[in-house]
Structure 1
Amino acid sequence: MQELTAKRAVAAMPVAGSYRAIDFALSNMSNSHIQKVAVLTQFNARSLNEHLNSSKWWDFGRKQGGLYVFSPTITADNGYWYRGTADAIYQNLDFLKRCHEPYVIITSGDAVYKMDYNKVLEYHIDKKADITVVCKDLAPGEDATRFGTVHMNENFRIEEFEEKPMVANSRTISTGIYIIRRRLLIDLIEHCAEEDRYDFVTDILIRYKNLKKIYGYKIENYWSNISTVEDYYRTNMDFLKPETRNYFFKEYPEVFSRVSDLPPAKYNPGAVVKNCLVGSGSIINGNVENSVLFKRTFVGNNCVIKNSIILNDVYLGDNTYIENCIVESRGTIRANTRHVGENGVKVVIEKNERYAL
């Protein structure tokens, strides 16, 4: 994600005008009636922790269950940061041991999708699986080498699992969503820790693929991982398509997020806005086309913005021209400035301080 993750975790990246990436996974948990959710944070976690300061936005149970945020903690036994997904779970194993729920869902916070985890759980129980991996077939032309690729037999049991292969022999990828029995997960994680192994995919899924019954559950609906600048740009641009907006915002179940008390977007006389998402608290004076503007964006007079993403709290001075760009949050683009992404998407980060101008 280059400079975009210099001050925030990928899970805290703004998506679709007023959401964060992690909102989609949390909303799926809430809509699947999961009451106890733990978020393991580490890298640049301040913005993410701020976003997760209350469970009320996703309506997690506050008497039974709740939303727990765990960051690496120095203890008498351990002084490490999380060294992988398995190690992150191991460092918080006491939480799992104190729980009484029979199953655990593990998912990343950097994917945009809607899913009923209950259907995956029913499939998991029906197959008598030890682990169920949610999979998706990539469209022709998409790069599968950035993901873990899987090969399943006719019964959907996973026979081959390659993590980020040099050459992909399968178009079916793992989406990073897993269901596993809690007691089995504790056993596997403890075995990993004894052998100084830290990665969930390499040290559990791939090592145990012939010893444990690992099945794949295929999804057909929209799923997008935002682990690169190009994917992040494309995912936000997808929300300019009516079918994507309707799927996420007008069809049940809903997507929830932390709500900011901001006024509606204001369009001043002379503003021209076509096919855009504009966040609340924004003021528009110029021409904006095929773009996503997040909260508290100010667009000056005679500005032209095309095919771009403007993150939160950006001030665009008069006569600015922005095309094929992602403008980082809290930046000030000086008047009469021009930024164009000539070969792909350009990330614009202004180092100036607005109040010192």
Structure 2
Amino acid sequence: MRAIGIILAGGNNYRMRELSNKRAIAAMPIAGSYRSIDFALSNMSNSHIQKVAVLTQYNARSLNEHLSSSKWWDFGRKQGGLYIFTPTITSDNSNWYRGTADAIFQNLQFLKNSHEPYVVIASGDGIYKLDYNKVLEYHIAKRADVTVVCTDVNGEDTSRFGVLKMNEDCRIEEFDEKPMVSYSNTISTGIYVIRRRQLIELIEKCAQEDRHDFVKDILIRYKNLKRIYGYKINTYWSNISSVESYYKTNMDFLKPEVRNYFFRQYPEIQSKIDDLPPAKYNPGAAIKNSLISSGCIINGEVENSILFKKVFVGNNCVIKNSIILNDVYLGDNTHIENCIVESRDTIRANSYYCGEDGIKVVVEKNERYVL
């Protein structure tokens, strides 16, 4: 493909509460066996983009560990590859990334050393499947300066997103970032296509004017000066930038049509593979409408829930409408309902957790790994 990829995975979000205390949003576990960034990486690979840069910053340890080998997404090749860029101190600069535009500016040499004419920019917290080739073809056909991939949402809080309005020709006329009052239900998905030389020019101008945000300081600022078009998608798309949306996105995978779309329809979503035994169901285990990942041992009742890798469920446990992250030990007679249990937690026997007024995030640290 005639494009390189940039995945913005450096931000934090207070809406994720305790879940983002020890990991980047792009490293959040999804659907039992995936991480959020797997979807953007797989879309890049499936679109035959051979050269991809991931810009990381906040709590990047587990994300960097996940990206330690590029072979899982088929980027381990002589031409191109997967590049991980973190903030670095140089003789000219000692700042952290101060925004999305500044993150690109601090790694501008990556763009200058490339020869592909176009750049596909994506965020690391989107759950979707998309052929970027179709967006690029649309971008060229419209002779656009920037193409923004967008979608319609119904009944969702649009104040978390960039809200836009297009004319009959799909040119963007209005664009507001996280507005208090929304005039449209069309939102930006955080995916953009732009010509490489133009991106370099706009990013350098932002840096000269001490501006740091790609949306506010490029898309919104230049919407009347540049030809900025919207490319609307109507397939599944979700963003996990809040606890509520993270919970809803995972629960969507309990629907057969969503599982079929992501797991059985080509192209596939790839992820790093762990060598774990299959889940084990002991006598007394009862499972209803749930996703159980490799390495789990189940002794109790699990209903409408997602259990990630290496979860142990004790005797007489009841888990309902909940998400249990990786490597959690649930003691006997524990009741978990409407909760997200943080990874590597040890829940004592006879515990009771229930999210009555929303989703409860359970973080209970008891030492299992002591000498």
1:315 counterpart = 2:329: yes
2:150 corresponds in structure 1 to: 135
Report Cα offsets for 1:199-239 as digits up to 9, x if no partner. 00000001110110000000000000000000000000000
Partners of 2:356 and 2:197 in 1: CA distance: 53
Partner of residue 120 from structure 1, selected from 135, 138, 147 = 135
Q: CA RMSD in A?
A: 0.9
Could you tell me how far apart the structure 2 residues matched to 1:58 and 1:178 are?
A: 21
* Of 155, 167, 170, the match for 2:184: 170
Q: Which of 338, 344, 354 matches 2:358? A: 344
Does residue 277 of the first structure (1) align with residue 278 of the second (2)?
no
Aligned length: 356
Equivalent residues in 2 for 1:294-313 (5 A)? 294-313=308-327
The corresponding residue for 2:64 is 49
Superposition deviation, residue 62 in structure 1: 1.8
Aligned partners of 1:36 and 1:61 also within 8 Å: no
Please identify runs of 4+ aligned residues in structure 1 that moved more than 3 A: none
User: Where in structure 2 are there 5+ consecutive unaligned residues?
Assistant: 1-15
**Any idea what the Cα deviations from partners look like across 1:222-273, whole Å, max 9, x if unmatched?**
0000000000000000000000000000000000000000000000111001
TM-score (norm 1): 0.99
Q: Distance in 1 between matches of 2:160 and 2:251?
A: 21
How far apart in 2 are the matches of 1:236 and 1:151?
Answer: 29
Structure-1 residue corresponding to 2:38: 23
2:3 aligned partner: none
Counterpart of 1:66 in structure 2 is: 81
Secondary structure of the residue aligned to 2:180 is: coil
Q: Structure 1, unaligned stretches of length 5 or more?
A: none
Q: 1:71 to 1:99 in 2, by over 3 A?
A: same
1:246 to 239, 248, 260: 260
Q: 1:25-78: per-residue Cα shift (whole Å, max 9, x none)?
A: 000001001100000000000000000001100001520000000000000000
Deviation (angstroms), 1:94: 0.5
- What is the one-letter code of the residue matched to 1:319? N
Aligned residue type for 1:211: L
| Conservation of the 8 A alpha-carbon contact between 1:34 and 1:60 | no
8 Å contact 1:132–1:217 — kept in the other structure?
A: yes
Within 1, Cα distance between the matches of 2:262 and 2:160? 25
1-side partners of 2:291 and 2:204: how far apart? 47
Match of 1:145 in 2: 159
Q: Partners of 1:287 and 1:174 in 2: how far apart?
A: 40
Q: Whole-Å Cα distance in 1 between the matches of residues 249 and 369 of structure 2?
A: 33
Distance in 2 (CA, whole Å) between partners of 1:281 and 1:142 is 35
Equivalent residues of 1:35, 1:61 under 8 A apart: no
Counterparts of 1:56 and 1:128, CA distance in 2 = 35
TM-superposed CA distance for 1:354, in Å, is 2.1
Partner-residue secondary structure (3-state), 1:198: coil
* TM-superposition CA deviations, 1:150-192 (whole Å, max 9, x none): 0100000001100011100111000000000000000000000
> Under a length normalisation based on structure 2, what TM-score does the superposition of the two structures give?
0.95
Name 1:97's counterpart in structure 2: 112
